[in-house]
Amino acid sequence: MAHASHHHDIAPPKDLKIPKLFFMIALGLLIFGAVVFAAALFIAPVRAWQGYLIGFWFTLSLGLAGPFLIATQYLSKAGWGISIRRIPEAMGAYLFAAIPLSIAALLGAPKLFKWLKPEAVNDAIIAQKFDFLNFTGLALVSIAAPIAFALVHFLMRRNSLAQDVDGKASHSRQNILLSALFVIVFVLGFSFMTWYWIMSLDAHWFSTMFQVYAFAGMFQSGLALVAIVLLVLLAHGYFGGTVGVQHVHDIGKLVFAFTVFYAYIAFCQFMLIWYANIPEEVVWYTHRLEDGWQWVTLALPFVKFIIPFLVLLPMDHKKNKNNILWYICWLLLAVQLFEVWYWVTPYPHFDGHHGPSLPIYELPIALGFVGLFMLVTGRALQAHKLVPIKDPLLHESIPHSHSHHGSSQADLEAQANNVVRES
């Protein structure tokens, strides 16, 4: 495939300059979240820490989705996604921020977990789990896992950036190995983090599917974020000729696929527990089918699966016709936050109230994390070239405007205009 000769006329990507307003908003959210958190620590400390956990988990998930997507690309030797790789790379930059945040979360652990209360020794079931459910174990995982995530991501990112300068193919080969390492670290770290921070909120309950369930939501929303950033950058023409509508379509297809995957996992977990109806297993769902939580439980299949599935079914919608992909991805991001809230808050063990309450503390605190996420990833995105211009497989990612995709350029501009109007 002699592509090289066609490439001299490709418009290079531009240097990204994110408007100051973006960082102002991010900083505003961060300060707002921090202030609400500080106030809530005195007014409703449990809810403050629940808000912290929601924000932390939501942003950690987005941060992990980036390098995970990159790792799958390297391991499958995929060429199509090279020119948009800097977006998930930037998302991974948040993993550095996640280290101190994860350690700080340990301060709130006694407020969040029944098994850390002194009276837990009287609970016959929890008492059997102390080999796992203890502060040392929690601290070990909460420190080691984010460090491991960030470290492997750092090494991969360093190779990717070095390749921009020296154009050595050996960086790609190293990143294939690092990708395998990342997947191992991710599976281990994410499983243990999920078991400690989310599943053990109800220390009696267990499900072998739970870390897969948490992963499904994580990757679905992570892909949605990639799509959103891609659409914004594309609309402003930052990619030059290196990204085309095919990339939007491909990411759209992945969003669609992992929407189905999420539904598959969530349904199987629910169905098996409902069908067998074993008391110690159904508690997780029975808590969420009473006191007003049933409406949330009923809403989730619609907002996380039925609506995005039906809407994204036509090909044009996955290509963001009429900005449909854009709206659906915002929906998916929002409902991921919603679902983490649904995982964390229905625990009546501490302050006595049962039903869902307006997240007046939780939402601002979570938005504080979103602000920090925006700051970190925004800076990471504009700090380096927007496209890994010397990746050996880049040529497979560049759209061929003069080939049989004759309309792609026109499509692209039409979509670009649409998004500009939005943002």
Partner 1 sequence: MKHSELTGRSHIVEGEGPFGGPLAKREPLVSDHRTWAQVNDDVASHTETMPTKLWWAAFIPSLLLMLMFFTSLGIIIMTGMGTVGISHPVGWGVFIVNFVFWIGIGHAGTLISAILFLFRQHWRTAINRSAEAMTIFAVMTAGIFPLLHTGRPWFAYWLFPLPNGRGPLWVNFTSPLLWDVFAVSTYGTISVVFWYVGLVPDLASLRDRAKHPLRRTIYGLLSLGWTGGNRSWRHYEAAYLMLAGLATPLVLSVHTIVSFDFAVSVIPGWHTTIFPPYFVAGAIFSGFAMVLTLTIIMRHTFNLKSYITINHLESMAKVVLLTSGVVGVAYLTEFFIAYYSAVEPEQFHFANRMLGPYWWAAMIMYGCNMGIPQLLWFKAIRRSIPALFVISLFVNLGMWFERYVIVTTSLHRDFLPSSWGMYNFKVMDWLLTIGSFGMFMTLFLLFARVLPTICMFEVKAVMDPAGASRKVAKEVARG
121 lines the binding site for partner 1 (CB under 8 A): no
> Which one of 50-58, 127-135, 152-160, 373-381 is the stretch in contact with partner 1 (CB under 8 A)?
127-135
State the minimum distance, in angstroms, from the CB of residue 148 to partner 1: 17
Interface with partner 1, residue 266, by CB under 8 A:
no
What are the C-alpha distances in Å from 145 to residues 192, 216, 301? 8, 19, 31
Q: Are 68 and 149 in contact (CB under 8 A)?
A: no
In angstroms, rounded to a whole number, what is the distance separating the alpha carbons of residues 145 and 157? 18
For the bound state, the minimum distance from the C-beta of residue 188 to partner 1, rounded and expressed in Å, comes to 9
- Residue 389 near partner 1 by CB under 8 A: yes
Give the other-Cβ count within 10 Å of 295's Cβ: 11
Comparison of 159 and 207: residue with beta carbon closer to partner 1: 207
Lookup: tokens for 139: 């601290």
User: How far is it, in rounded angstroms, from Cα 357 to Cα 318?
Assistant: 35
Compute how many residues bind partner 1; rule: CB under 8 A. 50
CB of 124 to partner 1, least distance (A): 8
Burial of 398 (0-12, 13-18, 19+ CB in 10 A): buried
Build a one-symbol-per-residue string for 159-198: x at contacts with partner 1 by CB under 8 A, - elsewhere: ----x---xxx--x-------x------x---x---x---
Q: Which stretch in 62-70, 272-280, 369-377, 408-416 sits in contact with partner 1 by CB under 8 A?
A: 272-280
Contact mark string toward partner 1, 203..232, x via CB under 8 A: ---xxxxxxx--------------------
Q: How far is the CB of 314 from partner 1 (least distance, A)?
A: 13
**Distance in angstroms (rounded) separating the CA atoms of residues 365 and 351:** 19
Asked if residue 280 binds partner 1 (CB under 8 A), the reply is yes
Count Cβ atoms below 10 Å from residue 78 Cβ, excluding itself. 14
Residue among 259, 170, 267 nearest 220 (CA): 259
**How far is it, in rounded angstroms, from Cα 62 to Cα 313?**
24
Residue 379 as a binder of partner 1 (CB under 8 A): the answer is no
CB nearer to partner 1: give 379 or 395.
395
Which residues, 6 or more positions from 13, have their beta carbon under 8 angstroms from its beta carbon?
A: 83, 238, 239, 240, 242, 385, 386, 387, 389
Asked if residues 323 and 418 have their Cβ atoms less than 8 Å apart, the reply is: yes
Q: Is 402 in the site for partner 1 (CB under 8 A)?
A: no
Residues that bind partner 1 (CB under 8 A): 1, 3-4, 7, 10, 12, 77, 80, 125, 128-129, 131-132, 163, 167-169, 172, 180, 187, 191, 195, 206-212, 242, 260, 264-265, 268-269, 271-273, 275-276, 278, 280, 389-395, 398
